[in-house]
Amino acid sequence: MAAPDGALLCLCFILLCPGILGDEDSTPRCGYQACPAVKPEMLNVHLVAHTHDDVGWLKTVDQYYYGGKTEIQRAGVQYILDSVIPQLQADPSKRFIYVEIAFFYRWWKQQTEAVKSVVKQLVNEGRLEFVNGGWCMNDEATTHYSSIIDQMTLGFQFLNDTFGECGRPRVAWHIDPFGHSREQASLFAQMGFDGLFFGRIDYQDKNIRKNLREMEMVWRASANLPKPTADLFTGVLPNGYNPPRMLCWDVLCSDEPIKDDKDLDEYNVDEIVSYFRQVAHVQAKHYRTKHIIMTMGSDFQFQDANMWYKNLDKLIKYVNAAQSSGSNVNVLYSTPSCYLHELNKANLTWSVKTDDFFPYADGPHQFWTGYFTSRPALKRYERMSNNFLQICNQLEVLAASKAQNGPYGVGDSSVLRKAMGVAQHHDAVSGTEKQHVANDYAKRLSKGWDRCEVLISNALSSLSGSKQDFVFCNKLNISVCPRIEELSNFTVTLYNPLARAVRTYVRLPVNGTKYIVSDPKGSSVLNEVVAVSNFTKALRKNRGYAVNELVFEAWVPALGFSTYDVSRKPERFTFRRLVRSLGELQDERTSTLFIENNYVRVSFDKNTGLISAIENLHKNLTLPVTQNFYWYHASVGNEQSNQASGAYIFRPYQEEPLPMSKIVNTYTVQTELFQEVYQNFSSWCSQVVRLYKKQKFVELDWTVGPIPVSDLVGKEVISRFDTSLKTSGTFYTDSNGREILKRRRNYRPTWPLNQTEPVAGNYYPVNSRIYMKDGKIQLTVLTDRSQGGSSIADGSLELMVHRRLLQDDQRGVGEPLSEPGFDGKGLMVRGKHFVFLDTVEDSPELQRLKAEAEYMAPLAVMGVGSEAPYNEHQAPIKEFSALKEELPHNVHLLTLAQWDSESIILRLEHQFEQSESKVYSKPQTVNLAHLFSAFEITSVEEMSLGFNQQKKDMSRLTWNTAQEKDGSNSFSSHNSTSEHTVTLHPMEIRTFRVRIRQG
Ligand SMILES: *[C@@H]1O[C@H](CO)[C@@H](O)[C@H](O)[C@H]1NC(C)=O
Ligand SMILES: [Zn+2]
């Protein structure tokens, strides 16, 4: 069944080939019922024609779409789709899968109605199948669950809008991400996927699984949700996502085609048929059913689909022809879902996996644990952009049409939503892209911010009833906001995206020394003015010149805003000098230096200037803690392996990192609102240890970079906390910001590990927190972005904050990770760690609430210039909440976003695990009708997590599992929503399509 030649195909395509397509019966036949016939008594080989299209990596997403910059990589996604569609159209037996909606959407926009209808027909017949179906194939180590859910929802939205039910993916397809998180699997299960396939798994794990025939299993991906809510059938693909050796027939490959004219030299059919049968039988030894899968395709393949399909046609023809002479191998065009369906029909009992697939190693000295930290500034920008997007989404709902169109222009949340969708890609937030591509991701986010700024301005103006010139200060972390520095009067409107009121400390660059700050009721609030530190001046360089920082505490109502007035006082007062200089500190070295508030005391070693102890004053807990920065000397290869540390791989040259400094210079700043110790570790590393008056944790505000490399040594910088806690090799890290996983040094829960990299092989992704504990005390560090972390010795925790390398690590990116920073002299990074010392019992509560408040922090928008009423009938208001009542502490408002003109997405999440808190780990009931004051709810429909199906219509394939855990928790996963009452169980997310009437 060889395909007709290309020219004929094109012609046929244009004329829509009524002969082929003229099928009056247009009822969709997609889904499992559309799967090809198999031969139950034979070994069935499911060929999956596919392309892996990175949403940016060596080229930007747009360059990949069009196929430009061929000198970097011969890859053009438009040509792939252009080329595949006529092949499918011409032959009903052919199949293709497509994955990345960021590309498909670009292509779709440019097609004619005729082509669109052809494609719809192919989708309706299951011949073109969408798998995964998110905006991108997201990274799993460095992504936050909030953004994973959003990017999947965005892809699903396009598919549902465009193709309806036949566009709904059944199978998750994470063939390239570099290790797999448990939370990702749990989210996939809750999105309704029947199975997950991936390609990358630790080489030791893979060998063992092959031998045990455990390449396919059921992943029980939540320790909280009742089975099978978070159960996901999971398959490890045999060859990553590539074809078997010698069987790659893409224009980018160089394997021999099938030469089937016996009259010609080099006839190779018999050879290939027998080789293929052998490959199939070998593969089948590692799998359990009479079905195996082969991924026929790879990165950006199928630009000339005819090459692949022509050879696959021959392969199928000749291998199957051998059946008449006794072969029991049956080859067919198939898809991952059709393969999955056969596995399900086999009705076997599958093993159960409950941990995750981190870290990933593809050799003894090749641990992919560097990317957990690579490009720390991009990682932070991505996390902040999620914060901003959630605020933008919420205000779009709260201000309705007045958000999109208003005095500030046309606002739009979709630009940032798409930019965030792209940024989740496994070569985006992961930090494994080329520098110019990283720049492109940041630029896209920034354009998204611009459009959201307009939307937010419109919304705040309409909700507050007042028009003013709004200034968004996006560089407050480096004390830069030129438009407010000189002003004697401005307002600060704080918007709080949480469903609970928050207290926050606002810190703004100013030039005055005395200010009056008034709260929304007009009472003046305590404020402090301190000098901008030299650390900050060195970091911001010529981007700003403010000399002081104004600090005050603000209160912001739930899902609402409050506006504070700031006015500068005449400067006849002398500036209170609060800063103690280094010289003064010398005097103090006779006594202990410490800072404290009502909750925490942090002591410093008087000789070294380093933190020496942390005390929880309420609970009377004291823990000696030494914190310092160190750097690992990056390996460039040695006699054991030539593997260098790079963008993906972390490989230190020696186990012991070098201390940044043994003695640090310090000075303190003490005010009524906060106390700070400034520590200067080196010319490129500093930290401020800060205690705000009412905060129960220590804030470590670190600045690292540019990492010097003039000694030609790549460096990987960590912040390390050393204590005397007896931790027996155990520590804990979060999975995508949600459930906690227990980690044990030099250990993997499911196989006997041969540890070959004592540092890199013990690194895990930290998306929001890492902690360690003994029987009584827990030390927790929350992060403001994803980082790699570990506990290399008992009582010790470390987080990698920055890395700069001089070698490429040979995994394709082809550039050493040496970020230039904004001035080309090397990237400087600033970030925060929040350190909690508490009892084991009380720790989760504080952590959960702070982690929530950190990733959905309040936004400060400055109002400058004269105010005008939004319209004459409206009196300006300075304090607003869209809620009638706050949500209880254990319920998080995960999503509040406009869906279409008549409905919104509402996601509520129980943010505690089962046994974390006596108070909060209980089921919680919320009445939606009593929640919002900004609008009235007219109807509520419960949806799947990805918003592409009603919850009641979700029906997933069921699987038999080996071990049935006893004492399994069993709240019904179909708990009803009576009227508008919603009950949430620990770690449960419930998603609703809500129709509203604006109040
Ligand atoms: C999905 O598409 C169907 C059919 O077009 C539509 O009725 C439904 O409302 C869509 N779902 C969502 C969540 O938009
Ligand atoms: Zn990839």
Q: Show the tokens assigned to 516.
A: 């009056």
Does residue 372 belong to any structural domain of this protein?
no
Residue 160 CB less than 6 A away from ligand 1: yes
Q: What is the pLDDT of residue 114?
A: 98
- One domain for residues 821 and 712: yes
- Given a cut of 70, is residue 785 above it in pLDDT? yes
- One domain for residues 304 and 341: yes
> What tens digit of pLDDT does each residue of 657-688 get?
999 999 999 999 999 999 999 999 999 999 99
**Average predicted confidence (pLDDT) for the chain:** 94
Active-site residue numbers?
Answer: 176
Ligand closest to CA 159: 1
Q: Show the tokens assigned to 954.
A: 């979700």
* CA dist., res. 446 & res. 452, Å (int): 10
- One domain for residues 645 and 662: yes
On whether the CB atoms of residues 662 and 671 are closer than 8 A, the answer is no
Q: What is the pLDDT of residue 872?
A: 80
- One domain for residues 865 and 842: no
Upstream peptide bond of 758 is cis (omega within 30 degrees of 0):
no
Mean pLDDT of 331-341: 98
Q: Show the tokens assigned to 442.
A: 């940041």
Ligand 1 centroid vs 160 CA: distance in angstroms? 6
Distances from the Cα of 226 to the Cα of 186, 349, 604, 924, 966, angstroms: 11, 19, 47, 16, 12
**Total domains in the fold of the chain:** 4
DSSP states along 249-298: -STT--PPPP---TTSTT--HHHHHHHHHHHHHHHHTTSSSSEEEEEE--
On whether the CB atoms of residues 284 and 296 are closer than 8 A, the answer is no
Q: What is the pLDDT of residue 3?
A: 39
Ligand 1 atom showing the smallest separation from residue 900 Cα: 14
- One domain for residues 680 and 823: yes
Mean pLDDT of 224-245: 97
* CA dist., res. 20 & res. 30, Å (int): 18
Ligand closest to CA 993: 1
Task: List the beta bridge partners of residue 96.
Answer: 128
Tokens 């997405």 sit at which residue? 905
Q: What is the pLDDT of residue 231?
A: 98
User: Which residue has the CA at smallest separation from atom 4 of ligand 1?
Assistant: 164
On whether the CB atoms of residues 289 and 347 are closer than 8 A, the answer is no
Does residue 378 belong to any structural domain of this protein?
no
Q: What is the pLDDT of residue 871?
A: 85
Among 658, 660, 655, 850, CA closest to 763: 655
Q: What is the pLDDT of residue 976?
A: 53
* CA dist., res. 728 & res. 744, Å (int): 8
On whether the CB atoms of residues 486 and 511 are closer than 8 A, the answer is yes
Q: What is the pLDDT of residue 570?
A: 85
3-state DSSP helix/strand/coil % of the chain, to nearest 5: 25, 30, 45
Mean pLDDT of 258-265: 96
Judged by average pLDDT, the poorest of 337-346, 872-881, 947-956 is 872-881
Q: Report angle CA 264, 269, 275 to the nearest 5 degrees.
A: 145
Ligand 1 atom showing the smallest separation from residue 943 Cα: 13
Tokens 């999975």 sit at which residue? 735
Q: Domain holding 890: CATH number?
A: 2.60.40.1360
Give 170's contacts (C-beta < 8 A, 6+ positions apart).
31, 32, 131, 193, 194, 195, 337, 340
Mean pLDDT of 314-323: 98
Ligand 2 centroid vs 139 CA: distance in angstroms? 9
Q: Show the tokens assigned to 769.
A: 């927190």
pLDDT band at 583 (very low <50, low <70, confident <90, very high): very low
User: Which residue has the CA at smallest separation from atom 5 of ligand 1?
Assistant: 164
- Given a cut of 60, is residue 571 above it in pLDDT? yes
Q: Show the tokens assigned to 784.
A: 């403001």
- Given a cut of 80, is residue 23 above it in pLDDT? no
Show which of 309, 335, 353 is a domain's final residue. Answer: 353
Among 482, 254, 380, 268, CA closest to 704: 380
> What tens digit of pLDDT does each residue of 421-478 get?
999 999 999 999 999 999 999 999 999 999 999 999 999 999 999 999 999 999 999 9
Q: Show the tokens assigned to 183.
A: 């939370």
- Given a cut of 60, is residue 212 above it in pLDDT? yes
- One domain for residues 844 and 788: yes
Q: What is the pLDDT of residue 855?
A: 98
- Given a cut of 70, is residue 520 above it in pLDDT? yes
Q: Show the tokens assigned to 652.
A: 């230190």
- One domain for residues 850 and 865: no
pLDDT band at 24 (very low <50, low <70, confident <90, very high): very low
Show which of 353, 374, 389 is a domain's final residue. Answer: 353
Q: Domain holding 320: CATH number?
A: 3.20.110.10
Judged by average pLDDT, the poorest of 569-578, 617-626, 891-900 is 569-578
pLDDT band at 967 (very low <50, low <70, confident <90, very high): very low
Show which of 335, 353, 371 is a domain's final residue. Answer: 353
On whether the CB atoms of residues 776 and 766 are closer than 8 A, the answer is no
Q: What is the pLDDT of residue 19?
A: 40
On whether the CB atoms of residues 593 and 603 are closer than 8 A, the answer is yes
- 699 residue type, one letter: E
Q: Domain holding 675: CATH number?
A: 2.70.98.30
Does residue 516 sit in helix, strand or coil? strand
Residues with CB under 5 A from ligand 2 (ion): 54, 176
Q: Candidates 120, 123, 157, 160: which one to mutate for ligand 1, based on the most atoms within 8 Å of Cβ?
A: 160
> What tens digit of pLDDT does each residue of 168-198 get?
999 999 999 999 999 999 999 999 999 999 9
Ligand 1 atom showing the smallest separation from residue 899 Cα: 14
Q: What is the pLDDT of residue 574?
A: 52
Its domain, for residue 332, covers 39-133+169-353
Does residue 376 belong to any structural domain of this protein?
no
- One domain for residues 682 and 756: yes
- One domain for residues 825 and 752: yes
- Given a cut of 80, is residue 979 above it in pLDDT? no
pLDDT band at 587 (very low <50, low <70, confident <90, very high): very low
pTM of the model: 0.95
Q: What is the pLDDT of residue 573?
A: 54
Does residue 814 belong to any structural domain of this protein?
yes
Among 88, 156, 151, CA closest to 124: 88
Ligand 1 centroid vs 165 CA: distance in angstroms? 8
- One domain for residues 643 and 655: yes
Please report which helix (H) or strand (E) contains residue 906, including its range. Answer: strand 903-910
Distances from the Cα of 202 to the Cα of 209, 808, 827, angstroms: 10, 21, 32
Does residue 230 belong to any structural domain of this protein?
yes
Does residue 537 belong to any structural domain of this protein?
yes
Does residue 392 belong to any structural domain of this protein?
no
Tally Cβ neighbours within 10 Å of residue 278: 12
Ligand closest to CA 811: 2
- One domain for residues 800 and 919: no
> What tens digit of pLDDT does each residue of 873-909 get?
778 999 999 999 999 999 999 999 999 999 999 999 9
- One domain for residues 698 and 837: yes
- Given a cut of 50, is residue 1 above it in pLDDT? no
pLDDT band at 998 (very low <50, low <70, confident <90, very high): confident
Q: What percent of the chain has pLDDT over 90?
A: 91
